[in-house]
Chain A
Amino acid sequence: MTRQEAEVILQDTFKLPNFYTEQWQTIEKVLKGEKVLLIEKTGFGKSLCFQFPAIIFNGTTVIFSPLIALMRDQVKKLTALGIAAKCINSEQTPEENKQILSEAKQGKIKILYVAPERQENTDWIEATQQINLSMVVIDEAHCISVWGHDFRPAFKRMINLVQLLPKGLPVLATTATATKRVELDVAQQIGSGISTIRGNLMRNNFKLFVIKVTTEDEKFIWLGENITKLPGTGILYAGTRVDTEIYSRWFENLQISSTFYNAGLDTESRIEIENGLINSKWKCIISTNALGMGIDKPDIRFIIHTQIPQSPIHYYQEIGRAGRDGQPANIILFYNPEDKKLPQAFIESARPSLKKYEKVIHAIKSELLGEKDLMKQTNLKQNQIRIIKADLIEQGIVREIMNEQNKKIEYIPNSKPLNTKTFEDLRNAKLADLDSMIAYAETNGSRMEFLCDYLGDKTKYTFNNCDNTGEKKLTVSVKPEWKEKLQHFREDYFPELKVEAKGSNIVNGVAASYYGVSNVGAALHRSKYEQGCNFPDFLLSLTAKAFRKKFGHETFDFMLYIPSTSSGDLVKNFAVKLSQVVKVPINHTLIKVRPTKEQKVFENMYLKTDNVKGAFGFTNPAIIQGKTILLIDDIFDSGATIKEVGRLLTKFGAIKIVPVVIAKTVGGDIV
């Protein structure tokens, strides 16, 4: 097929005038059955390089993509063009997925999007036996490389798959962000005669700014004062899930239209926010880096980071989502030299101790275990288990298998011992990346040039699109009234306790503070573990304030408190005082029916849940029937205890249970 012939089809089907040179280069190779790695910036039109051949080929093109939002988005667009495209993903019902598979088997689907994890699914493997496959695409191919910014173990299996595909079956791997090292790693792993096509990474519609600050408050104040002055809508990236929530409340407080997004939200909320983003429903979405990758919104006008990312490549990836329409976009990074501590801590603690690795290997050698069994046997956090598991798989020490529909981890006999040198190398590489990110913030030169250099794009341009090369510098000057506004907000901000669950009448409660963010945690720790004296009074007034703000208008029949494990009557005494302050009668009949261990010795949700399961009871359960109950505890971590008591109270007929605690921990177990 000549380029001209192809462009006729292009105009007819995709309503696009012509191909870019690199697009046609890629498509030509793909049509010949070759393997190609395509590195092009966001907005270039990478997807056309597989969508076009897909409609030329007889059979089905399978696209592996890690991003459900992207799949949904592209399927919507292709469907609008009249191209038979579908996606299979974990957020659709099994029936929907089954239906799509059966259509694929009948040859009714041209373009099928699936997540790499789908290779674990037996229905999928069975279906592929009957799908007439024309081409395989690996989107976000940088996820293959551990040297990239977003390594995903499931992509290892993509490499294995590609190596097993018959000769002459086209494979296209695409990414917007790959350093030279990642590019070579990906190409080498895919192997067998792959050619790489790399475009330029310059985004000249960006205006890049770094705002130097010395405190967190300055970030809040600058944003409060200026975000509404920025043209259009955009995204604010915060460092942690907690931060997304706090910034969102701050904006709410200032009546700036916003919402927050992080991986902790349920699917439904996330879809709603993604759609809201596309429709510019809010001035600003505050998110962790979970949002945005692959979302095809052409007119994101600003992207702001309140926290420096781990590396320039993370940063380039995240800001890449702005200004895809080529119109100007403001790219702002807040930089406080102190900020490097968060990514630093993240890198330093990226890997659990060797002892934990050994614990896992030992457990796996003696029994075929799933992740949950393994967590219970080793008392390790889920995220630690996952890191260890991924490393052990990577090093060929274990493999993850499906056994009777369950994922299990299997030891590989005669495998090499754990090689920790790779961990060191990775850690050092990541620390060096972080240094580069700091260098970006501190550079006096062109910021765009800095990013292009870093990513291996050596093309020379005139760079005049940042605050070092012509744009006005942005600075923060704190006015007293803003300081006051912020102070007021902080005193009035109380974290929510998410505990609502089906089958329980417990509702989401409130904490007086975060444990680690203020002096509250320190005060609690002193009372509990050092001096053994009662909780100080400021905790009482803070808790009463939190309670009044959220539940002050409701009436309660009585207050219960969680009986203590080892810290004596601290909670009881606290509850007695609180009961007087908030004028809810106290009741002492919630008791422990068996001894439990302190929840904090358990590292994960499963063991915490087991520890408190059936541990509570009532001397007189009859009084619970039909009551609205206030439930008091000191620290909320996983929520396992509160939830357990909530279930028990529901069982005895309570109609509403409201938990109120002094502090909520940050970054508890992710279950």
Chain B
Amino acid sequence: MKKEEATYWIALAHLPRWGYSKINNLIIKFFHENKLSVDEFFQLTVANWKEQYQLDERQISDLLQAKSELASNAFLAESFFSQGYEIIPITSPEYSKTLKANLKTTHAPAVLYVKGNKKILEEKSIAIVGSRDASEPALKFTDNIAKLASKEFKVVVSGFAKGVDKQALDSAIHYNGQSIIVLPQGIMTFSSGFKNYYKQIISGDVLVLSTFFPQAPWKAELAMARNPIIYGLSNEIYVAESAEKGGTWSGVVDGLRKGRKIFVRKPEPNEKNANNILIQKGAIAVDSAGLELPVNLIEKETKQISIVQESPGYESLEEKIRSACNRKPISAKELLIKLNLTWSTQKLNSYIKKLNFIEVVKENNITLYKLKHTTSTTQTTLFL
């Protein structure tokens, strides 16, 4: 990113009530389709915005408001940069590819605010999540997983809350591993953290990351909104302990719904937590060392097995479908052959309809699939 773009990115990323999806679609349009930089986009006339970008009155008034605040943003951005923070827009090669792949246009934030070693974003990563008042076994489990991850050069992603989060971070540091701290607040309000983790940040072992407005103070909503970012930044997710409600719970349930592979610590019989319920819902049970446990036949449901089975190839499967649909519309049957899958056509049909980059077309009463906006390759570059 050119430095001059910073103020524009800040303006764009925090358009009020737009949501990630709308913002990302706009970015796809100006950046990939029209090859404009963000500042060039802001220089366009209202007529351009209306005609070329099909923006409605309210959106245009939001953009004009954002534009009028650019000078003010410049003061903020100067202060921001002088403190050593950086902005990574979603169009940047430095933006976490894992995050993009996991969250896609609908949930990926337009910018990441970071301080520390950005290269960490390129490493394989795991998240360790769990409650703020975690039990001893949960903390021990967290320590084990962090140790293992550090040994395997995987980055530990955590949310800087008490309990499991803090343990995950401290253990990763203890075992000389690398960490990403995902903040529940704006990055400029994290002074004490930068003081306490100064050495680790300097030595390149810790990256602090926030997706919120840089000056936003801690809020419960932000803490909730941060959870998907933690999951999104991670290749694997480990749950040390979850209650049946709260941040961890809703994060895991959300993750399972999105088809993520989530490992949950199998609790001891006397423990009071919701780990077992998550396992029943499709999470993978692991022991205190993080080793996968054989699937307990009593708890097994076919639905869960299917999730577990398809998960390993999940990431690449999506990509395979994407490339298979890249040319002309294709039927489910053809797809099965092409992808060498042993699924039923029905299963593939229901799977494929959930993919947001696929469009359904009917030809002679046969359902065919093709990539949305096949005229451009925008999504593949932006969300690969």
Contact = CB atoms under 8 A, between A and B. Distances in A.
A622 interface: no
Interface residues of A, number: 36
A130 B71 CA distance: 10
Contacts of A181: none
A163 B4 contact: yes
Interface string B146-164: 0000000000000000000
Contacts of B39: 166-167
Contact of B195 (A119, A131, A403): A403
Contacts of A164: 3-4, 6-7, 73-74, 77-78, 81
A129 B66 CA distance: 12
Contact of B71 (A169, A401, A408, A410): A169
Contacts of A549: none
Contacts of A126: 215
A399 B84 contact: yes
A160 B203 contact: no
A548 interface: no
Given A166-B70, A404-B195, A413-B117, A399 B83 contact: yes
A411 interface: yes
B82 A119 contact: yes
A615 B68 CA distance: 61
A166 B198 CA distance: 33
B202 interface: yes
Q: Main SS of chain B's interface residues?
A: helix
A161 B117 CA distance: 24
B43 interface: yes
A401 B82 contact: yes
Contact of B202 (A166, A167, A413): A413
Nearest to B71: A133
A600 to B, nearest CB: 34
Contacts of A132: 68
Q: Main SS of chain A's interface residues?
A: mixed
A439 B78 CA distance: 43
B271 to A, nearest CB: 39
Nearest to B194: A403
Nearest to B3: A163
Contacts of B73: 164
A128 B70 contact: no
Nearest to A122: B79
A389 to B, nearest CB: 14
B348 to A, nearest CB: 48
Interface string B31-63: 000000001001100000000000000000000
A413 B203 contact: yes
Contact of A366 (B78, B117, B199): B199
A126 B199 CA distance: 29
A368 B194 contact: yes
A230 interface: no
Contacts of B204: 413-414
A192 B71 CA distance: 16
Contact of B84 (A119, A131, A404, A410): A410
Contacts of A400: 82
A367 B43 contact: no
A623 interface: no
Nearest to B117: A413
A126 B216 CA distance: 11
A605 B213 CA distance: 41
Interface string A392-432: 00000001111110001011111000000000000000000
B189 to A, nearest CB: 10
A490 interface: no
Contacts of A166: 7-8, 39, 42, 67, 70-71, 74
A624 B167 CA distance: 59
Given A129-B72, A163-B3, A404 B202 contact: no
B342 to A, nearest CB: 49
A16 interface: no
Nearest to B84: A399
Given A163-B4, A166-B70, A404-B195, A129 B82 contact: no
Contacts of A399: 82-84
A167 B71 CA distance: 9
Given A164-B4, A164-B6, A412-B84, A125 B79 contact: yes
Contacts of B71: 133, 165-166, 169
Interface string B191-220: 110110011011110000000000100000
B29 to A, nearest CB: 21
B76 interface: yes
A38 to B, nearest CB: 21
Interface centre among A126, A132, A160 (most CB of B within 10 A): A160
B72 A128 contact: yes
A157 interface: yes
Contacts of A410: 84, 198, 202
A161 B78 contact: yes
Nearest to A414: B204
B75 interface: yes
B181 to A, nearest CB: 16
Interface in B1-18: 3-4, 6-8
A119 B79 contact: yes
A411 to B, nearest CB: 5
B198 A368 contact: yes
A365 interface: yes
Interface string B73-108: 111111101111000000000000000000000000
Contacts of A402: 83, 191
Interface string A105-139: 00000000000000100100110111111000000
A408 B196 CA distance: 13
A401 B195 CA distance: 11
B78 A119 contact: yes
Contacts of A130: 72
Contacts of A404: 191-192, 195
A128 B203 CA distance: 34
Contacts of A412: 84
A160 B7 contact: no
Contacts of B84: 399, 401, 410, 412
Nearest to B83: A401
Nearest to B199: A366
Interface in A144-187: 157, 160-161, 163-167, 169
A401 B85 CA distance: 10
Contacts of B69: 129
Given A164-B7, A368-B198, A412-B84, A403 B191 contact: yes
Interface centre among A119, A164, A192 (most CB of B within 10 A): A164
A160 B76 contact: no
A395 to B, nearest CB: 15
A164 B6 CA distance: 7
B75 A161 contact: yes
B202 A133 contact: no
A408 B43 CA distance: 38
Nearest to B201: A413
A125 B198 contact: no
A367 B192 CA distance: 13
Interface string A567-597: 0000000000000000000000000000000
Contacts of A367: 198-199
Contacts of A161: 74-75, 78
Contacts of A128: 72, 75-76
Contacts of A408: 195
17 contacts: A119-B78, A119-B79, A128-B76, A129-B72, A132-B68, A160-B81, A164-B77, A166-B42, A367-B199, A368-B195, A399-B82, A400-B82, A401-B194, A402-B83, A403-B191, A404-B195, A408-B195
Give the 5 A-B residue pairs with the shortest CB-CB distance, closest first. A128-B75, A166-B70, A133-B71, A164-B74, A161-B78
Given A128-B76, A132-B68, A410-B84, 4 more contacts: A157-B82, A163-B3, A166-B42, A403-B195
Interface of B: 3-4, 6-8, 39, 42-43, 67-79, 81-84, 117, 191-192, 194-195, 198-199, 201-204, 215
